[in-house]
Amino acid sequence: MSPKKKRKLHGKPSKNTGGGWHHATTGVNGQGYVFGVNLFDFKCDYTGTHADVRDPLYGETHTASICTVTINGRKREFAYAEYSNGIYGFYTH
């Protein structure tokens, strides 16, 4: 059995979750409250980059998509990963 080749992902290095990302919340489809708002109510733009993040409950590593969203005129960056069907983890810097 050969070892799996590790895929290089984009993101800023961090000792926390592998990309400078800290777990903010976990939510079900339609409920992702970060920055004081439900992100599902906003248009979010995918940056085309990813980061490795760690599930805080089970410790599993997931590949999170990095996105931006404008809230009250301020552009914010977050990452999200789908842990299982309809269950999302949201991460911020």
The residue ranges of every structural domain in the chain are 12-50
Q: What is the pTM of this model?
A: 0.78
For residue 53, give the nearest of 3, 1, 93 by alpha carbon.
Answer: 93
Tell me the C-alpha distance between 30 and 5, whole Å.
Answer: 34
Q: For residue 3, name the pLDDT band (cuts at 50, 70, 90).
A: very low
Task: Give the burial class of 66: count Cβ atoms within 10 A of its Cβ; 0-12 exposed, 13-18 middle, 19 or more buried.
Answer: buried
**pLDDT tens by residue, 4-57:** 333 333 343 333 335 689 999 999 989 999 999 999 999 999 999 999 999 999
Q: How many whole angstroms separate alpha carbon 37 and alpha carbon 7?
A: 33
In the three-class reduction of DSSP (H, G, I as helix; E, B as strand; rest coil), residue 55 is classed as: coil
